[in-house]
Amino acid sequence: MGREVGTWMREVHRYLGFFLAGIMAMYAVSGIVMIFRNTDFLKKEIVVEQNIGPNVAQADLGAKLKNKKLKVDRAEGGIMYFKEGTYNTQTGEAVITKKELPYVMDKMTHLHKSTSADPLYFLNIFFGLSLLFFVISSFWMFIPSSSVFRKGMYFTLAGILLTLLLVFI
């Protein structure tokens, strides 16, 4: 029985690994890019002009421009200035400067950080469960009495200790 489970684990591990190679690469790249999300790394500047109507109150400006964090720095001569741009209270014209990742990279990072409100959230659940399976099935890749398995257990222990250290620092 043990040999059959081991064989099954190795086969599923192998073919699931081949099947998920593309998405694992995508998660790896988007994860690295997301580390720099608080910087302008790879981002390009986009200027958006839109008319939201005249005389929008300062308190309502963020909602109209779909920016919950918008904070008006100052208002002079009928123009409100904020970090991302300006709003002309007389003409209703808003000019906003955004910094966005290139289209494909933006889509990749959006998929990476999806929530249950996103239509493809089940893909993230499947991928997470697949990674968990990789962790578990890797212990069936070698015969437990082999030196490779014993050395692997030392590396496993070291990896667990490093993870705990990083979590609690």
pLDDT tens digits, 29-47: 999 999 999 999 999 999 9
Between CA 133 and CA 14 the distance in angstroms is 11
Mean pLDDT score, 144-149 = 93
pLDDT higher than threshold 60 for residue 1: no
Domain segments of the chain as ranges: 2-38+103-168, 44-100
Q: Which of 110, 102, 104 is nearest to 31 (CA)?
A: 110
Mean pLDDT, range 125-133, rounded to an integer: 94
pLDDT category at 120 given cuts 50, 70, 90 is confident
pLDDT tens-place string over residues 57-115:
999 999 999 998 999 999 999 999 999 999 999 999 999 999 999 999 999 999 999 99
Q: What is the pLDDT of residue 41?
A: 95
Average pLDDT over residues 20-25: 94
**pLDDT value for 3:** 67
pLDDT at residue 4 greater than cutoff 70: yes
